[in-house]
């Protein structure tokens, strides 16, 4: 294998310097073909590089039982929302029950196409870095296609203490036959992934390759058409739990392909401000492994911070609104869903459902809001496990007003549903940060009008906004301090 050649320098710096070559071999994609400048690349051409039509993907999914999941109207939850809403408010709330997929989450959609593609190209195995649900999905699909799966997980802090949710996901990955590498938190995750890809010659089933996002497009497409068939129109709003951006990107693109262009797309994350996801101390002071602002905001402000040269998950292109909820509100919503609707589901989908309880109160009763995913639950994902772990790590857990929540210090579970709110994060600030990061990463390159148009599209803003942002920066020529 390439990384085992005699004399190969496998230091961190040298491996990262070989990143493009490693990933070209591990994906079959020459990312350089799509580069137009240090800022601009042809996003749609990259997305189309794997050459799968929606009909192709539907056929692939049928082979392994992925997709066509139920759309469930949450009538009891809607009734509760209306009881705490102003007159005429409290829209109908639906949920797409993605727990019905083979490994229990929407991640089966992104895994199914990526693993199929790997087998089609002749790879003997697949590698991914995942906190768990995606790793389990990749392992499940690899088993169906007869491929080897290696899953890299950040599991532990330096005390070798792991969160119950991540450990449950480790169990799931191993149950489907994956080889799981458990790592401590830190910057080495992508380095280790590159080493494994180079040493094995396996396919990179990254969260951020085209096949991953194309798989999720089927979720938005199905959702839109299910609502259209049942109600004679498209949904007014879709809420998507936001972390790395693939869920938002794929769902929004699928909605557009179905013709649901006026549907408002809202990303929802757990508010973990003040906690650093690469911090050994902070790692176990959060009670969620994904779907939180510690991933959501960095990936919006710079999506190309990933294990591929250009990330196909670009949430800022598609978000109309970005809302934050607290940990306690998600735990409370988990209990609401189980006790009102008889659906016990895990925390990821319940993050956007927590946002729905608040946002539905703003909307008219005849409007339709869809929470676009659920995930399976199990012992390690239950509120009881998560809250016990929080207490063991010095977090105060109590009932009260969730507005008093302090990430890493308290988890406050609402006493009643009308205490639930969302905090809107200013997307204009995120757009500004993204544009400035793009200019900074270009290292002294003077942006052209082509770059301005790309940045406007990539940030869902206007060229004048981009020009104003660039004008406020001092661009230093390359090679200067």
Residue 341, domain extent: 67-104+215-424
For residue 28, being part of any structural domain is answered with no
- The neighbouring-strand residues paired with 414 are 400
- The reply to whether 163 falls in a domain is no
Residue 442: C-alpha distances to residues 36, 217, 407, 449, 477 (Å):
12, 30, 34, 15, 10
Note the pLDDT of residue 126: 98
Q: Which of 355, 331, 326 is nearest to 264 (CA)?
A: 355
Does a structural domain hold residue 327?
Answer: yes
* 445, 38 Cβ separation under 8 angstroms: yes
- pLDDT, residue 290, reads 77
Q: pLDDT grade, residue 16 (50/70/90)?
A: confident
Beta-strand pair 237-241/203-204? unpaired
Mean pLDDT, range 277-300, rounded to an integer: 83
DSSP string of 301-363, one letter each residue: H-TT-SSSSS-S--GGGT-SEEEEE-HHHHHHHHHHHHHHHS----HHHHHHHHHHHHHGGGS
Check residue 7 and give its pLDDT. Answer: 65
- Judge whether 62 lies within some domain: no
Using an 8 Å Cβ cutoff, are 314 and 43 in contact? yes
Q: Does residue 378 fall inside a structural domain?
A: yes
How confident is residue 154, by pLDDT bands cut at 50, 70 and 90?
confident
Token pair 């039982």 is at which residue? 65
How much is the pLDDT for 476?
59
Query: Rounded mean pLDDT of the chain?
Result: 93
> Stretch 416-444: mean pLDDT, rounded?
96
Contact partners, residue 123, CB within 8 Å, separation at least 6 = 147, 201, 202, 203
Cα(178)–Cα(127) distance, integer angstroms: 10
Neighbouring CB atoms inside 10 A of 145's CB total 16
What proportion of the chain, given as a percentage, has pLDDT over 90? Answer: 82
Separation of alpha carbons 349 and 272, rounded Å: 17
Beta-sheet pairing, 92-96 with 71-73: antiparallel
Is 100 a domain residue?
yes
SS3 call for 6: coil
What is the DSSP code string of 202-218? -EE--TTSHHHHHHHHH
Q: Cα dist. 354→140, 358, 361, 365, 406 in Å?
A: 29, 7, 12, 18, 18
DSSP code for 98? G
DSSP string, 223-259: HHHHHHHHHSS--SEEEEE-SSSHHHHHHHHHHHHHT
Kindly report the CATH number assigned to the domain that includes residue 296.
3.40.50.1100
What's the pLDDT at 121?
96
Q: Parallel, antiparallel, or unpaired for β 203-204 and 125-129? A: parallel
Q: What is the pLDDT of residue 304?
A: 95
Query: In this structure, what DSSP letter does residue 292 have?
Result: B
Please report, to the nearest 10 degrees, the dihedral formed by the alpha carbons of residues 61, 75, 265, 350 taken in order: -70
pLDDT(323) > 60: yes
Q: Is residue 472 part of a domain?
A: no
Three-state secondary-structure class, residue 67 = coil
Token pair 């951006």 is found at 245
455 located within any domain:
no
Centre a 10 Å sphere on the Cβ of residue 475 and count the other Cβ atoms it contains: 15
Rg (CA), the chain: 22
The whole-angstrom separation of Cα 471 and Cα 439 is 11
Confidence of residue 40 (pLDDT cuts 50, 70, 90): very high
Quick one: pLDDT at residue 283?
A: 81
How many domains is the chain built from?
1
Q: How far is CA 195 from the centre of its chain?
A: 24
Mean pLDDT value of segment 111-120:
97
The pLDDT of residue 45 is above 90: yes
CB-based burial of residue 411 (10 Å sphere; 0-12 exposed, 13-18 middle, 19+ buried)?
Answer: buried
Whether 218 has a pLDDT exceeding 60, the answer reads yes
d(CA 142, CA 117): 11
- 364 strand-pairing partners: 89
Is the pLDDT at 264 greater than 80? The verdict is yes
Q: Read off the pLDDT of residues 367-408 as tens digits, 9 standing for 90 and up.
A: 999 999 999 999 889 999 999 999 999 999 999 999 999 999
């Amino acid at each position: 294998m390439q990384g085992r050649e005699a004399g190969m320098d496998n230091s961190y710096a040298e491996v990262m310097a070989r990143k493009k070559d490693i990933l070209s071999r591990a994906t079959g994609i020459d990312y350089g073909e799509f580069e137009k400048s240090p800022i601009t690349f042809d996003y749609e051409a990259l997305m189309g590089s794997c050459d799968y039509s929606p009909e192709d993907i539907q056929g692939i999914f049928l082979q392994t039982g992925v997709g066509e999941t139920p759309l469930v109207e949450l009538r009891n939850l809607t009734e509760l929302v209306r009881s705490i809403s102003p007159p005429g408010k409290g829209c109908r709330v639906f949920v797409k029950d993605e727990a019905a997929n083979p490994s229990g989450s929407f991640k089966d959609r992104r895994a199914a196409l990526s693993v199929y593609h790997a087998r089609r190209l002749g790879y003997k195995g697949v590698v991914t870095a995942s906190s768990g649900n995606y790793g389990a999905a990749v392992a499940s699909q690899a088993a169906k296609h007869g491929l080897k799966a290696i899953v890299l997980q950040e599991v532990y802090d330096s005390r070798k203490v792991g969160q119950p949710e991540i450990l449950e996901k480790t169990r799931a990955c191993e149950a489907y036959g994956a080889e799981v590498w458990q790592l401590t938190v830190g910057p080495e995750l992508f380095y280790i992934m590159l080493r494994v890809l180079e040493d094995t010659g396996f396919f990179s089933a990254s969260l951020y390759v085209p096949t991953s996002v194309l798989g999720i497009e089927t979720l938005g497409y199905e959702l839109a058409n299910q609502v259209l068939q049942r109600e004679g129109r498209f949904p007014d709003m879709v809420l998507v739990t936001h972390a790395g951006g693939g869920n938002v990107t794929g769902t929004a693109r699928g909605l557009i392909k179905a013709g649901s262009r006026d549907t408002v797309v809202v990303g929802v994350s757990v508010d973990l401000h003040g906690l650093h996801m690469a911090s050994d101390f902070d790692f176990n002071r959060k009670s969620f492994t994904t779907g939180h602002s510690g991933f959501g905001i960095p990936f919006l402000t710079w999506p190309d911070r990933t294990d591929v040269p250009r990330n196909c998950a670009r949430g800022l292109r598609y978000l109309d609104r970005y809302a934050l909820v607290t940990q306690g509100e998600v735990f409370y919503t988990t209990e609401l869903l189980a006790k009102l609707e008889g659906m016990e589901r895990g925390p990821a989908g319940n993050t956007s459902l927590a946002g729905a309880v608040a946002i539905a109160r703003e909307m008219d009763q005849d409007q339709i809001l869809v929470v676009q995913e659920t995930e399976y639950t199990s012992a390690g994902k239950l509120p009881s496990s998560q809250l016990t772990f929080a207490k063991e790590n010095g977090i105060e857990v109590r009932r009260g007003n969730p507005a008093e929540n302090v990430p890493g210090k308290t988890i406050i579970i609402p006493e009643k549903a009308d205490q639930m709110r969302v905090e809107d994060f200013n997307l204009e600030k995120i757009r500004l940060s993204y544009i400035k990061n793009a200019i900074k990463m270009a290292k002294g390159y003077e942006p052209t009008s082509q770059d301005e148009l790309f940045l406007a599209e990539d940030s869902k803003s206007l060229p004048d906004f981009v020009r104003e942002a660039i004008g406020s920066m001092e661009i230093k020529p390359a090679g200067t301090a």
